[in-house]
Amino acid sequence: MTQSELPSLPGNTRKPARTSLERGTLAGTLTHLWPYIWPGDRADLKMRVVWSVVLLLVAKVATLAVPFTFKWATDALTGANTAPVASSSWMVWLIASPVIMTASYGAVRIVMAVLTQWRDGIFARVAMHAVRKLATITFVHMHELSLRFHLERKTGGLTRVLERGRNAIETIVRMLILQLIPTIVEVSLISAVLLWQFDWRYVLVTLAMVAAYLLYTYYATEWRIEIRRRMNDSDSEANTKAIDSLLNYETVKYFGAEAREAERYDRSMERYEHASVKTYTSLAVLNAGQAIIFTVGLAAAMMMCAYGVRRGHNTVGDFVMINSMMIQLYQPLNFMGMVYREIKQAIIDIEMMFGVLSRPAEVKDAPDASALVVSTGHIRFDDVRFAYDPERPILKGLSFDVPAGKTVAIVGPSGAGKSTISRLLFRLYDVSAGRILIDGQDIRSVTQASLRSQIGMVPQDTVLFNDTIRYNIRYGRWGASDAEVEEAARLAQIDGLIRVAPEGYETQVGERGLKLSGGEKQRVAIARTVLKAPPILVLDEATSALDSHTEHEIQGALEGVSRNRTSLVIAHRLSTIVGADEIIVLDQGRISERGTHAELLARGGLYAGMWNRQREAEAARERLAQMGDDGEAVARRPAEEAAE
């Protein structure tokens, strides 16, 4: 799924730009999130926002009525004549009835609760729509970033960025839109009621308490921000180490490193433990201070009212009302403190998500990019230069052709730049200088999607999705039928092995394909490339994980697949590229030799030396194989390394 395939994103936002959000401001958060909360193309969601606000305001009015019903019920019980002026005797009787007023108190509270929950239910779709849109945009952008970015980042840490950012968006949307504005309205209404029912001193005490409460909350929360940041960092570190260790389960077992891995993980968890303790301790300090400030304000208001009752200026109902109203004020006030804490903490979490979003893609389609049109499949590398690090060039002016329908092999020692060639052809990186042409079209001038749709890749390190064999083969061409999937498996010499498995093509391959052997994984990779049926093939050590017998079987299948297709083969095992139309020998980023297998042997240069060392290693392996399987295992590695 590309950005262009995303369904009508609000504001036509391809990549959210850097805003004041990254500096942790509330205004930046609202500015950035508003197009997703009020999407221009979704009238139904806009209506949900409107109805949520209406229900919320009605609920606040009902909330304000609760203290009045409590006051009237109390005065009715004590016999105080504090009922408001009524136009008829039956209204006076109604308000003076303690039973009716008590029932009204309960009814108003029920209405308040129902309206609040109704509002939350209506707004849920709006909030989760915003979460889904932003999470999807981030996920798509992660795929658009270059291979360099993903090699520099740790997968576990990256998934935690996405997870925490998603949760932070939900927190911000719910708390800001559903609670902040109505809470301000409620505080204002309560202040007006205090002024109307009592006098300015009550309002002064209340506003002083609110100001002190919010000021304390602000400074205490700012103090906690860095503590929370350290806890998040230690959490990401521990999670990354756990994922890294579990993905390398077999390596851990090979070297008996379970205790070392456990100790490494425990050190990260120890840092997380210390940071978490500080986080919860600081939260306790914050909550205690808030409770003290509010209680002082509550006690001061009630003491003034108690004095008024003794002087005959107020009734017991007024005393109860001031207590109820102040306690009722505590809920939104406490929520405002929580809003600030949670929003600040959510901004910390969302900062990293938007940091990823703000990182520009290294490889981008040109504004006028067109679709690649492959007529013959002729590939040309024209003075190509490339470096992962500017101080360490990898390719130094590489020029060669892969004629249409021909097979060209690339060999050379490790670090010569062989695999870099396949990455550049696939545009996982862009060349530093020079050009790569396919049928005369510079691959930087065509869309990445059209380029990659025309190239089939069988990589050296095959990684499978944690799903079924059928799913992984069908990944090559998603619309393929079951019959086509099975035919591709047959051509890759794996159909027979699949059918003897209890679950056949529905067999789960496990995380990264760990339930399959190296050879089986490689055959699945070959099968999905066969299914893709591209005009250009890139085989990057396609048989590296196979034994000699299986290699010969699959080599025939690969030759069949490569027939009439332009093929670029990157090889360590020289025996697999003997029949190539041309062999190019790389050394330190330059072409050292080129020619057919026979021509290069006759030349007696670097290729001939590599070939002779490999043949000697294979001969030694054959001799040792006669001594048993152990000898074969000992000799296998030198044979594979001979090309180095």
Contact 639, 618 (CB under 8 A): yes
Could you tell me if 220 and 339 lie in one domain? yes
CB neighbourhood size of 628 (10 A): 9
- Tell which of 358, 388, 420 closes a domain: 358
Could you tell me if 175 and 293 lie in one domain? yes
360-401 pLDDT, tens digit per residue, is 777 788 888 899 998 888 999 999 999 888 788 888 889 999
Q: Could you tell me the residue range of the domain that residue 311 belongs to?
A: 13-358
Could you tell me if 549 and 520 lie in one domain? no
Split at pLDDT 50, 70, 90, the class of 151 is low
List of residues 6+ apart from 554 with CB closer than 8 A: 492, 493, 522, 523, 526, 542, 543, 546
Q: CATH number of the domain that 503 lies in?
A: 3.40.50.300
Structural domain count of the chain: 3
Could you tell me if 634 and 601 lie in one domain? yes
Could you tell me if 424 and 285 lie in one domain? no
Asked, for residue 5, whether it belongs to a domain, the answer is: no
Phi–psi pair at 386, nearest 5 degrees: -160, 145
Could you tell me if 525 and 573 lie in one domain? no
Q: What is the pLDDT of residue 155?
A: 52
Contact 138, 313 (CB under 8 A): no
Asked, for residue 367, whether it belongs to a domain, the answer is: no
93-132 pLDDT, tens digit per residue, is 455 566 777 777 788 888 888 888 888 888 888 888 888 8
Q: Provide the phi-psi class of 51: left if phi over 0, else alpha when psi is between -120 and 50, else beta.
A: alpha
Gap between the Cα atoms of 444 and 430, Å rounded: 8
Gap between the Cα atoms of 167 and 140, Å rounded: 18
Could you tell me if 634 and 620 lie in one domain? yes
Assigned token pair, 276: 């978490």
Gap between the Cα atoms of 100 and 102, Å rounded: 5
Contact 174, 335 (CB under 8 A): no
- CA angle, corner 480, sides to 476 and 486, nearest 5? 85
> Comparing 139 with 82, which gets the higher pLDDT?
139
Q: Beta strand 566-570 with 407-411: parallel, antiparallel or unpaired? A: parallel
Helix (H, G, I), strand (E, B) or coil at 314: coil
583-618 pLDDT, tens digit per residue, is 999 988 889 999 999 999 998 888 898 888 888 877
Q: What is the pLDDT of residue 23?
A: 46
Asked, for residue 30, whether it belongs to a domain, the answer is: yes
Report whether pLDDT(481) > 50.
yes
Asked, for residue 8, whether it belongs to a domain, the answer is: no
Mean pLDDT value of segment 32-51: 83
Gap between the Cα atoms of 313 and 300, Å rounded: 17
Asked, for residue 374, whether it belongs to a domain, the answer is: no
Assigned token pair, 153: 């980042």
Closest CA to 326 of 193, 452, 418: 193
Gap between the Cα atoms of 359 and 233, Å rounded: 20
Could you tell me if 484 and 571 lie in one domain? no
225-248 pLDDT, tens digit per residue, is 778 778 878 887 888 888 888 878
Answer whether 0.85 is exceeded by the pTM: no
Report whether pLDDT(287) > 60.
yes
- Tell which of 533, 559, 585 closes a domain: 533
Residues 489-514: b if buried by 16+ CB within 10 A, e if exposed: bbbbbbbebbeeeeeebebebeebbe
Could you tell me if 388 and 277 lie in one domain? no
Q: What is the pLDDT of residue 379?
A: 93
Q: What is the pLDDT of residue 156?
A: 53
Mean pLDDT value of segment 409-429: 85
Asked, for residue 239, whether it belongs to a domain, the answer is: yes
DSSP 460: S
Q: What is the pLDDT of residue 639?
A: 42
Asked, for residue 3, whether it belongs to a domain, the answer is: no
Could you tell me if 559 and 445 lie in one domain? yes
Could you tell me if 523 and 538 lie in one domain? no
Mean pLDDT value of segment 158-162: 71
- Tell which of 358, 387, 413 closes a domain: 358
Q: CATH number of the domain that 30 lies in?
A: 1.20.1560.10
> Comparing 506 with 623, which gets the higher pLDDT?
506
Split at pLDDT 50, 70, 90, the class of 563 is confident
Asked, for residue 307, whether it belongs to a domain, the answer is: yes
Mean pLDDT value of segment 545-572: 73
Could you tell me if 487 and 547 lie in one domain? no
